[in-house]
């Protein structure tokens, strides 16, 4: 009984220290295991000097950037955040390789009745291979989805901002 309580408290502490909700943690875990074809790995929070976070287009101060490590080697990185939709927000994940090239993006939780099509693997695939030197433009190199215009623009802006932030952090030798 006491062991169960200690385990529960420790597990909750780990989730909170990662800045992930329980639902997001499960989804991130599933995506990482599936993409990297591994069962055991560690998510290690990447600390960014706070003097650089203020100038970034994306938030990097809420324990939302992690190193994905297994067998003493870094497999890549995970960035987890939220973006606005029409009346709520959706949570998303971006997996990067060691060179900060996008390997995969996914929508973890979508909270709207309409626009959920942005969670489609086919649509999200267009972000794969993008790096900090790329600029994403809605309607040009990012295709529109009828009925999901706000969410498509929001996801495009979010990914653009993360890539711009990565560029700034690399330039300042934070990554």
Q: What is the distance between the alpha carbons of residues 80 and 125, in angstroms, rounded to a whole number?
A: 17
**Structural domains of the chain, count:** 1
Residue 83's DSSP bridge partners are 90
pTM of the model: 0.86
Q: What is the distance between the alpha carbons of residues 117 and 15, in angstroms, rounded to a whole number?
A: 28
Q: What is the distance between the alpha carbons of residues 89 and 80, in angstroms, rounded to a whole number?
A: 13
Q: What is the pLDDT of residues 66-118, one digit of tens each?
A: 999 999 999 999 999 999 999 999 999 999 999 999 999 999 999 998 888 99
Q: What is the pLDDT of residues 32-55, one digit of tens each?
A: 999 999 999 999 999 998 888 888
Which domain does 52 fall in, by range? 2-171
Strand segments, DSSP code E, in the chain are 42-45, 65-70, 73-84, 89-96, 102-109
Q: What is the distance between the alpha carbons of residues 66 and 14, in angstroms, rounded to a whole number?
A: 13
């Amino acid at each position: 009984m006491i062991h169960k309580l200690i385990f529960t408290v420790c597990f909750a502490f780990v989730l909170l220290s990662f800045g992930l909700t329980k639902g997001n943690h499960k989804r991130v875990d599933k995506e990482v295991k599936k993409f990297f074809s591994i069962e055991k790995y560690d998510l290690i929070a990447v600390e960014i000097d706070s003097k650089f976070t203020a100038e970034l287009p994306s938030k990097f101060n809420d324990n939302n950037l992690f190193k994905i490590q297994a067998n003493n080697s870094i497999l890549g990185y995970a960035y987890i955040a939220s973006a606005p939709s029409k009346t709520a927000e959706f949570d998303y994940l971006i997996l990067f390789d060691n060179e900060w090239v996008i390997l995969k993006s996914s929508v973890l939780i979508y909270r709207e009745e309409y626009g959920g099509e942005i969670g489609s693997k086919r649509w999200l695939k267009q972000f794969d291979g993008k790096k900090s030197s790329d600029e994403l433009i809605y309607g040009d190199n990012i295709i529109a989805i009828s009925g999901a215009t706000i969410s498509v623009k929001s996801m495009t802006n979010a990914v653009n901002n993360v890539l711009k932030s990565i560029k700034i952090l690399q330039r300042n030798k934070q990554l």
